């Protein structure tokens, strides 16, 4: 049994108090989470979670073991990151870009990182904003571009930069009124990817009279496919290619707000902020 993997399942279910939300947070489907947690309980010989129609509640044993499980998962992440740093030698640049950026903005940021006067090796990764913020705070990353707002866990942060966005709509959608988007679902990442930002976007949509149901899209391509099929609309950063079967319409009141977390004296922090400011104009 992969102990650390199964402990991740336990921590996610315990914190989300729901198997479905835990699966969304982990980026997998629910059955492996349920089966993995059951296997962990059988191996340990204790029941960690009480399963009910209301969700998932910690047992007394689960409450006692959860803090230790969190420490073990965090230590495992640190161990892997430190091993990667040692394997790459000193001076490694550890940078991450949040999934919310989309392919066009992520490519622009990556291009800005491609040159380094010192020739230090670059490790570039991606992930959900909350996980990247925690990694910066725990010195597992040197810098990360994250969606705002996000819980920074004390990581140094820079200015909030607003990147213009459009709505990607089905090619046949012609109504000039924003509220008519309510006839379509809105394709968004799982809320667990960054709850504060997800809630803020939905609040802003509602304030503008857009009351669409949410269609969960795990990836950018899944969101675009839902739009092309005429099922949904989705916010995209300006400059994103327009796929077949879709069209753009301005969404000036719905910018993507981002910030760079990391040491303010790190050269890659300045590189990332420079390209983001350029894209914001």
On whether both 171 and 244 belong to a single domain, the answer is yes
> What phi-psi label fits residue 91: left (phi over 0), alpha (psi between -120 and 50 degrees) or beta?
left
- Picking from 26, 54, 87, the residue at the C-terminal end of a domain is 87
Range of the domain at 124: 90-161+257-280
CA distances from 5 to 72, 76, 97 (A): 11, 10, 24
pLDDT in tens, the chain (281 residues): 789 999 999 999 999 889 988 888 888 888 999 999 999 999 999 999 998 877 899 999 999 999 999 989 888 887 877 676 666 555 678 999 999 999 999 999 999 998 766 677 889 999 999 999 999 998 889 999 999 999 888 889 999 999 999 999 999 998 889 999 999 999 999 988 899 999 999 999 999 999 999 999 989 999 999 999 999 999 999 878 899 999 999 998 999 999 999 988 889 999 999 999 999 98
**Looking at the structure, do residues 239 and 261 belong to the same domain, yes or no?**
no
Closest CA to 158 of 260, 269, 270: 260
CATH of the domain at 11: 1.10.10.10
**Do 144 and 264 share a domain, yes or no?**
yes
Domains held by the chain: number: 3
Residue with tokens 């269609």: 215
Asked if residue 128 and residue 75 are part of one domain, the reply reads: no
pTM of the model: 0.70
Question: Which of residues 25, 52, 87 is at a domain's end?
Answer: 87
Closest CA to 167 of 201, 130, 207: 201
Co-location of 141 and 200 in the same domain: no
Residue 106 shares a structural domain with residue 65: no
In the listed set 32, 53, 87, which residue is the last one of a domain according to the structure?
87
User: Does one domain contain both 96 and 23?
Assistant: no
Q: What is the CATH number of the domain that holds 261?
A: 3.40.190.10
- Asked whether 23 and 191 are in contact (CB, 8 A), the reply is no
Claim to verify: residue 268 and residue 155 sit in the same structural domain: yes
Q: Let me know whether 105 and 54 are in one domain.
A: no
Shared domain for 240 and 132, answered yes or no, is no
Tell me which DSSP letter residue 209 carries: T
Residues 137 and 267 in one domain: yes
- Are 179 and 236 in the same domain? yes
Contacts of 273 (CB under 8 A, 6+ apart): 158, 159, 161, 260
């Amino acid at each position: 049994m992969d102990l650390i993997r199964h402990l991740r399942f336990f921590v996610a279910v315990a914190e989300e108090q729901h198997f479905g939300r835990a699966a969304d947070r982990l980026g997998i489907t629910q059955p492996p989470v349920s089966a993995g947690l059951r296997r962990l309980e059988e191996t340990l010989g204790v029941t960690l979670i009480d399963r009910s129609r209301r969700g998932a509640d910690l047992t007394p044993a689960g409450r006692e073991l959860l803090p230790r499980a969190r420490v073990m998962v965090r230590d495992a992440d640190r161990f892997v990151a430190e091993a990667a740093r040692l394997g790459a030698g000193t001076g490694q640049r550890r940078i991450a870009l949040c999934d919310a950026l989309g392919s066009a903005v992520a490519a622009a940021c990556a291009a800005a990182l491609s040159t380094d006067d010192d020739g230090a090796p670059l490790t570039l990764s991606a992930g959900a904003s909350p996980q990247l913020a925690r990694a910066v705070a725990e010195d597992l990353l040197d810098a990360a571009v994250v969606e705002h707002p996000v819980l920074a866990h004390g990581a140094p942060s820079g200015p909030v930069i607003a990147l213009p966005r459009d709505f990607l709509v089905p090619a046949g959608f012609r109504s000039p009124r924003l509220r008519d988007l309510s006839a379509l679902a809105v394709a968004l990442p799982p809320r667990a990817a960054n709850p504060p930002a997800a809630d803020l976007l939905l609040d802003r949509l509602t304030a503008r009279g857009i009351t669409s149901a949410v269609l969960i899209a795990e990836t950018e391509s899944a969101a675009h496919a839902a739009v092309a099929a005429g099922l949904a609309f989705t916010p995209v950063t300006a400059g994103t290619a327009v796929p077949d079967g879709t069209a753009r319409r301005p969404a000036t009141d719905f910018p993507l707000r981002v910030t760079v977390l990391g040491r303010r004296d790190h050269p890659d922090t300045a590189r990332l902020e420079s390209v983001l400011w350029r894209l914001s104009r």
